[in-house]
């Protein structure tokens, strides 16, 4: 796995190694690069004029050994930003991702990035940290289990063990503080979530997942684990029914970060984040087709997101009271497995007819939502889960489905999604969908007809929410397999940046 190291240094004219600059579509160099071009007798300007480089956003031009006089400069990378007008925060993150890919492709371990493109004004610190975030996100890879080196045309490929990038900025100390206090914890939380999703189920069992959450105690997070007996005593029969066919024991993990100022009476009204943690989903008795069943090791992406989020919030000392709850189970077929036609009684007391054992995530979340509502009296509950293939059919892999009983929180999360590039689309709910859930033999059934299953699942979950403001994020289309400029890995760690941003913008400010 390539590790990313970010450093922030004052602006200087000491150019060496790989030098990186951003150029707009008018080919305007920043002051540092204008000086460099002069030192190189105009070779940068000539190289651009002789190439097809136009400065279009995300375009890259690599200039190898641009000068015999300045041998200490190995190469120059120019990254196009397009029009400098209306460039967004996430555009800079994506530009960092493009730069990261270019550095990896050119096998550049160390480089310096100059960001003083605003002339006499100090570089906007947010630009520097957003570019750094994009580099770090795109540099992530997971090759923990690879022992054989890849070869291309009989030439061994160099696998960089690390990427070291120095960002030359006007206010290096200020930028470094923002990075360490706010951005790097989110990067690490995202990559923690990615690690958890990619790990195979024979390594990341429910037991091992519990051990991984225990590491959060080093950050000041209080971790409580409920075992099977404790969950049975609570009446969590919907969750427990999913795990019946597996030899792997079920757990509920509660992670508490109480970061609100002590003089604020917020302890009784925390935000609760709830994640589905099916470490492997075979479908149970309603077994899935064999094609791509191996991808079902990622059916715990919601739990991974909540764990990564709690890491981020605690590491940056978020001034909020947040509780993360994850339900860890494995859904397997066996002689002990739950059957279609079974009826279980959830923690809420409501009975559920099991129509399809592959509609298991909503059973896990049902008990977790009720548990959160009853035990913690939350101000808001947000659950996140790879819940339905139907949401992928509806929205593809570019947006997650958002379902909610609260317009204000929905609008806030939508805005946070735009800011971070983790986009959501609000889907409908309403009483007209209630008939889909009706069962002849129980209070409700866990699956309906083929059409509208994502809405069915949300409407099902809503029965366990009560009047608490609530958001359900269905990330079945966005959690895995979606390669972007900032995510080259199969696992995206989707949701950590989105929810951290929502907390930062809409919950911490209210304290």
184-401+415-420+433-510 shares the fold of 3-170? no
| pLDDT exceeds 60 at position 284 | yes
| pLDDT exceeds 80 at position 115 | yes
Cα separation, 209 vs 348, whole angstroms: 26
Which run of H or of E encompasses 509? Answer: none
Domain boundaries of the chain, sorted by first residue: 3-170, 184-401+415-420+433-510
Q: What average pLDDT does this structure show over 50-59?
A: 94
Beta strand extents in 427-465 (DSSP E only): 444-445
- Is residue 288 part of the annotated active site? The answer reads yes
Report the CATH architecture of 184-401+415-420+433-510. 3-Layer(aba) Sandwich (3.40)
| pLDDT exceeds 60 at position 122 | no
Name residue, tokens 């909020």.
320
The model's confidence at residue 120, banded by pLDDT at 50, 70 and 90, is: very low
pLDDT tens sequence across 179-190? 999 999 999 999
pTM for this one? 0.94
User: Which pLDDT belongs to residue 158?
Assistant: 47
pLDDT tens sequence across 437-452? 999 999 999 998 778 9
Contacts of 285 (CB under 8 A, 6+ apart): 245, 333, 337, 338, 339, 340, 357
No. of H helices and E strands in the chain? 15, 19
Say which range, 56-70, 201-215, 274-288, 380-394, has the weakest mean pLDDT: 56-70
The model's confidence at residue 121, banded by pLDDT at 50, 70 and 90, is: very low
User: Which pLDDT belongs to residue 206?
Assistant: 98
**Token representation of residue 276:** 């589905």
CA-derived radius of gyration, the chain: 25
62 within 8 A of 47, measured Cβ to Cβ = no
How does DSSP classify residue 502?
H
**Token representation of residue 366:** 């049902």
**Token representation of residue 324:** 């993360």
Report the CATH architecture of 3-170. 3-Layer(aba) Sandwich (3.40)
Cα separation, 180 vs 447, whole angstroms: 46
- Is residue 319 part of the annotated active site? The answer reads no
User: Which pLDDT belongs to residue 156?
Assistant: 43
Catalytic residue (choose from 117, 194, 319, 362): 362
The model's confidence at residue 2, banded by pLDDT at 50, 70 and 90, is: low
- pLDDT above 90 covers what percent of the chain? 76
| pLDDT exceeds 80 at position 88 | yes
User: Which pLDDT belongs to residue 295?
Assistant: 96
Cα separation, 200 vs 296, whole angstroms: 10
Neighbours of 159 (CB within 10 A): 14
User: Which pLDDT belongs to residue 217?
Assistant: 98
Cα separation, 22 vs 56, whole angstroms: 11
Beta-bridge mates of residue 79: 22, 60
User: Which pLDDT belongs to residue 309?
Assistant: 98
Can you say whether the dihedral through the CA atoms of 187, 55, 122, 8 is positive or negative?
A: positive
pLDDT tens sequence across 321-363? 999 999 999 999 999 999 999 999 999 999 999 999 999 999 9
User: Which pLDDT belongs to residue 474?
Assistant: 98
Catalytic residue (choose from 57, 188, 228, 288): 288
Give me the DSSP letters along 278-291.
Answer: EEEE--TTSPPPST
């Amino acid at each position: 796995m390539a590790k990313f190291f970010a450093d922030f240094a004052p602006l200087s004219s000491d150019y060496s190694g790989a030098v990186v600059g951003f150029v707009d579509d008018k080919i305007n160099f920043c002051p540092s690069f204008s000086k460099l071009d002069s030192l190189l007798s105009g070779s940068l300007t000539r190289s651009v004029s002789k190439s097809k480089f136009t400065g279009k956003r995300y375009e890259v031009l690599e200039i190898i050994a641009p000068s015999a006089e300045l041998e200490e400069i190995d190469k120059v990378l120019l990254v196009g930003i397009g029009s400098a007008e209306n460039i967004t925060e996430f555009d800079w993150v994506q530009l960092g991702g493009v730069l990261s890919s270019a550095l990896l492709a050119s096998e550049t371990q160390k480089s310096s990035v100059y960001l003083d493109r605003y002339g006499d004004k100090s570089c906007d610190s947010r630009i520097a940290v957003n570019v750094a975030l994009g580099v770090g996100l795109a540099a992530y890879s997971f090759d923990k289990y690879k022992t054989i080196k890849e070869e291309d045309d009989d030439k061994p490929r160099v696998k960089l063990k690390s990427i070291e990038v120095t960002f030359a900025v006007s206010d290096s100390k200020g930028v470094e503080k923002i990075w360490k206090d706010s951005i790097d914890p989110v990067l690490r939380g995202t990559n923690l979530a990615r690690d958890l999703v990619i790990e195979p189920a024979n390594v990341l069992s429910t037991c091992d997942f519990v051990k991984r959450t225990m590491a959060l105690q080093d950050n000041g997070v209080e971790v409580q684990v409920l075992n099977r007996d404790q969950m049975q005593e609570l009446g969590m029969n919907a969750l427990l029914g999913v795990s019946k066919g597996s030899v792997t024991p079920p757990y509920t993990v509660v992670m508490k970060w109480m970061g609100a100022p002590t003089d604020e009476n917020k302890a009784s009204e925390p935000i609760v984040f709830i994640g589905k943690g099916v470490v492997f989903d075979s479908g149970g008795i309603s077994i899935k087709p064999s094609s791509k069943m191996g991808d079902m090791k990622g059916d715990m992406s919601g739990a991974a997101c909540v764990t990564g989020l709690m890491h981020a919030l605690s590491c940056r000392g978020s001034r909020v009271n947040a509780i993360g709850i994850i339900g860890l189970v494995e859904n397997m077929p066996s002689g002990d497995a739950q059957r279609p036609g079974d009826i279980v009684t959830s923690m809420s007391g409501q009975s559920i007819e099991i129509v399809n054992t592959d509609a298991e995530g909503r059973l896990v979340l049902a008990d977790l939502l009720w548990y959160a509502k009853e035990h913690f009296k939350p101000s808001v509950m947000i659950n996140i889960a790879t819940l339905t293939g139907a949401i992928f059919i509806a929205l593809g892999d570019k947006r997650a489905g958002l379902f909610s009983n609260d317009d204000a929180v929905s609008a806030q999360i939508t805005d946070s999604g735009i800011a971070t590039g983790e986009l959501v689309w609000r889907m409908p709910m309403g009483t007209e969908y209630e008939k889909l859930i009706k069962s002849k033999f129980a209070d409700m059934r866990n699956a309906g007809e083929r059409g509208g299953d994502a809405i069915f699942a949300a409407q099902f979950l809503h029965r366990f929410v009560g009047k608490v403001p609530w958001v359900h994020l269905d990330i079945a289309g966005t959690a895995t397999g979606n390669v972007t400029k900032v995510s080259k890995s199969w696992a995206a760690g989707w949701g950590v940046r989105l929810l951290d941003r929502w907390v930062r913008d809409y919950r911490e400010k209210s304290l």
